[in-house]
Amino acid sequence: MAIGLRTMLIGYARVSTREQDNEAQIDALEKSGCELVFKEKASGSRWDRPELLRLLDQLRKGDVVVVWKLDRLSRSLKDLLMLMEKIAGAGAGFRSLTESIDTTSAGGRMMMQIVGSFAEFERAMLRERTRNGLDAARIQGRIGGRRPKLKEGQKAEILSLVAAGSKTAAEAARLFGVHPSTVSRLLKQAEAP
């Protein structure tokens, strides 16, 4: 579709993972009047989003970029404001359907900045709570992450089998039902001073 000089509503729909579905976003964007919708499956914190870059390259004066929700465009206020500058630099506007933000008016621009600030504050609070929870768990002797596949005795047995030459690393991995990289990491840790 050729983009002319008339005002055009251009949608941007993004989900973070391949498992997620952006059909609800696309439906809302099309119902709001978007003639063109760019669809992306990528994290909002990444800058290498080809569909977003294509959208920004095609923006013309008077166009309006429409998203279903503000965080579909970016997760950080800094990045969001940079994107808003690029959109404004092209002479285009921005609209978020969920937050009812429309930067084609002064009130909409102010509201976008307020909502973006609250969203960033919420993410910072979540990071802080997570960090505090992990610190408290460490103090209590709990360590986060995946449980080890091998017990200490099994690790010692693998080291002994491989050192004696009776099993290769791959054979030891099969014997204990773990991935070969698990055994390789164990052997490297044992070699380290």
Which residues are catalytically annotated?
16
E strands in 36-90 = 36-41, 64-67
DSSP 72: G
Cα Rg, the chain, nearest whole Å: 25
Q: How far is 65 from 138, CA to CA, in rounded Å?
A: 46
Q: How far is 144 from 140, CA to CA, in rounded Å?
A: 11
Q: How far is 44 from 148, CA to CA, in rounded Å?
A: 32
